[in-house]
A and B are shown apart, each in its own frame.
Chain A
């Protein structure tokens, strides 16, 4: 392509239809070198399909894939310099760990001119890096979930691909192992400076790992940005409610709706800037004690049909009694407005007549 800077991977107008199912429906995306990009979205939104098209396992119905500036849309996976870790890890069950990791090297030995000794060296080095060098003789079924995941990553890394694609690689691990693996994966990516595309439907994973997050739904990209941008400045109602737990409170007006996050909805006495805040009369129906936070269920007076949540830190000494009314405040900048029809963010509206 031209002399202008180009991102490592670029998707242009990518679509994939399976008969009538629009798995991916017009995606434009640029992935920079050395970036950890997370694709986040609910189940069935087309994340895996999108990733398979980057890998070359699926032919797009329309659109182009560029890697390193070259159009690879028509190229098979082996010519793309991409490696992949499947959700199931897809380890070759009849090969030991050594041969699993060596497989891509052997398969590409002619193109890349690896000899036997070089292969052994690379496998051992990669295994050492991932701390699985003592497992090289084992078969996959003799490994724990965490060990399998490392073998799969080692196999994907060993050829030093331009991009590594990871499809929910942590979802088979238990919660504790998962947090650990997340940390290690990020550390590993940073130190090896590899470009990673990581698919997940777990927002905590996405927020923790991603340099940038791509939020998808129904085969379309909803928003791309840093975790903070996506959380604090959602482009539309879907992104606003998909991220955050519990999710953003949404209240309807005629032509638009507005929302604020439960953690930004606090008793007025706690608000640090009451002049710039909106005050609501809040009726507390029920309080859940969650350890570090109290989750408050209730509604804003005059809006009795819309359940509104507040998340109040436990360490602040405000008593919140059930069946009582309090004044709660939200900072004006924490209130987001959305178009009722399109769901897109719109500018601030006057809340005067609404609440």
Chain B
């Protein structure tokens, strides 16, 4: 009898225990958070209040000295401004493009699967590879974009953007910022689109059929039914994308190293350059931690908005 009910088998009994199973399910996430997020975070805080360098790894407490130094650093202020500006501007475009693309990709048309596949590639490409591709596109001499502009008469002796034969994408202040934002938008739009597509296809078909029978046309259905219903998912997607962008350094590191001057230097890159390349671990850590309260506040506000917009 006991074998039938499984009572003689202690393991089956343990797996029937909700608390135990719950903890087991959480364990991998807990380990991950503690080891790979919690520990480095605490270490960064410890570094931020010390005078540690790559050469001298003894931690001695120095109070808020690093933070004061960072705050008085003019370059840091520009870097911080750049980071906020790059994040906001690229999120703006990502949101617009991702919405448009998600709507297109959830319609029925021939070649949809191929179009989706092609479109997902930027996201699937390793950043370093993509950046090298874009380095070539933006090259001072070899840029294919410049070549096209030259052929179409925008560049060159008589062109509106002439007389030069090259735009020098990554060497001019404003243009380098545009280039970096462009690559970020190119790179991040697919993920946002996929998230929004998942949101759109989770809307019950009954609701959309009902809207159709009620006489609603494309735009009304989009603005009054679809978008409000995916708003929570949209906010979450935006939050993820913003946090990723805020901490990112790979794109600028590979494209511009922060130049010209400091025009494309952002927080992640600068703290890396100061802390690791410059060896001043303490100040690098203090710098990176400046982003923390901002992102925390952002996450709280956006998660609130998302849960308030959640209606199902």
Alpha-carbon gap, A103 to B213, bound state (A): 11
Neighbouring B residues of A86 by C-beta, 8 Å: 206, 209-210
B204 is an interface residue with CB less than 8 A from chain A: yes
Contact indicator B213/A82 (Cβ below 8 Å): yes
Q: 1/0 per residue B192-230: CB within 8 Å of A? A: 000000000000101101111111110010001100110
B312 is an interface residue with CB less than 8 A from chain A: yes
Neighbouring B residues of A56 by C-beta, 8 Å: 212-213
A77-B212, A94-B228 known; A141 and B311 CB under 8 Å? yes
Interface residues of B in 11-41 (CB under 8 A from A): none
B1 to chain A, nearest CB (A): 34
Neighbouring B residues of A62 by C-beta, 8 Å: none
Q: Which of A77, A82, A92 contacts B207 (CB 8 A)?
A: A92
Contact indicator B204/A83 (Cβ below 8 Å): no
Q: 1/0 per residue A274-296: CB within 8 Å of B? A: 00000000000000000000000
Contact indicator A78/B209 (Cβ below 8 Å): no
Interface residues of A in 83-102 (CB under 8 A from B): 83-84, 86-88, 90, 92-94
Neighbouring A residues of B209 by C-beta, 8 Å: 52, 57, 84, 86, 90
Alpha-carbon gap, A104 to B215, bound state (A): 6
Contact indicator B311/A94 (Cβ below 8 Å): yes
Neighbouring A residues of B220 by C-beta, 8 Å: 106-107
B58 to chain A, nearest CB (A): 58
A212 is an interface residue with CB less than 8 A from chain B: no
Contact indicator A155/B214 (Cβ below 8 Å): yes
A152 to chain B, nearest CB (A): 9
Contact indicator B206/A88 (Cβ below 8 Å): yes
Contact indicator B311/A139 (Cβ below 8 Å): yes
A57-B209, A86-B209 known; A93 and B229 CB under 8 Å? yes
Contact indicator B215/A78 (Cβ below 8 Å): yes
**Closest A residue, CB atoms, query B208:** A90
Q: Which of A57, A93, A94, A139 contacts B213 (CB 8 A)?
A: A57
A335 to chain B, nearest CB (A): 45
Neighbouring A residues of B217 by C-beta, 8 Å: 78, 107
B34 to chain A, nearest CB (A): 38
Contact indicator A88/B204 (Cβ below 8 Å): yes
Alpha-carbon gap, A113 to B288, bound state (A): 60
Per the CB 8 Å criterion, the residue count for chain B at the interface is 20
**Closest B residue, CB atoms, query A155:** B214
Contact indicator B228/A90 (Cβ below 8 Å): no
Neighbouring A residues of B211 by C-beta, 8 Å: 92, 103, 107
Contact indicator B228/A103 (Cβ below 8 Å): no
Neighbouring A residues of B212 by C-beta, 8 Å: 56-57, 76-78
Alpha-carbon gap, A182 to B239, bound state (A): 48
A86-B209, A88-B204, A93-B229 known; A103 and B311 CB under 8 Å? no
Contact indicator A104/B311 (Cβ below 8 Å): no
Contact indicator B210/A93 (Cβ below 8 Å): no
A39 to chain B, nearest CB (A): 17
A160 is an interface residue with CB less than 8 A from chain B: no
A90-B209, A93-B311 known; A103 and B216 CB under 8 Å? yes
Contact indicator A90/B204 (Cβ below 8 Å): yes
Contact indicator A93/B215 (Cβ below 8 Å): no
Alpha-carbon gap, A76 to B218, bound state (A): 12
Contact indicator A90/B215 (Cβ below 8 Å): no
Contact indicator B225/A92 (Cβ below 8 Å): yes
B149 to chain A, nearest CB (A): 45
B310 to chain A, nearest CB (A): 10
Alpha-carbon gap, A155 to B105, bound state (A): 31
Alpha-carbon gap, A257 to B160, bound state (A): 93
**Closest B residue, CB atoms, query A82:** B213
A55 is an interface residue with CB less than 8 A from chain B: yes
A108 is an interface residue with CB less than 8 A from chain B: yes
Neighbouring B residues of A94 by C-beta, 8 Å: 228-229, 309, 311
A247 to chain B, nearest CB (A): 33
A88-B206, A90-B207, A93-B229 known; A55 and B213 CB under 8 Å? yes
Alpha-carbon gap, A56 to B212, bound state (A): 9
A83 to chain B, nearest CB (A): 6
Which of A87, A106, A139 lies at the interface centre, i.e. has the most chain B CB atoms within 10 A of its CB?
A: A106
Contact indicator B312/A104 (Cβ below 8 Å): no
Which of A57, A83, A107 lies at the interface centre, i.e. has the most chain B CB atoms within 10 A of its CB?
A: A107
B177 to chain A, nearest CB (A): 38
B92 to chain A, nearest CB (A): 24
Alpha-carbon gap, A52 to B212, bound state (A): 12
Contact indicator B214/A93 (Cβ below 8 Å): no
A sample of 9 more A-B contacts (CB under 8 A), given A84-B209, A104-B215, A107-B220, is A56-B212, A78-B214, A83-B214, A86-B209, A87-B206, A90-B204, A90-B209, A92-B207, A108-B214
The 3 closest A-B pairs by CB, nearest first: A104-B214, A78-B215, A90-B210
A-B contact pairs, 16 of them (CB 8 A): A57-B213, A77-B212, A77-B215, A78-B212, A78-B215, A78-B217, A83-B214, A84-B210, A86-B206, A86-B209, A92-B225, A103-B214, A104-B215, A106-B220, A107-B211, A107-B217
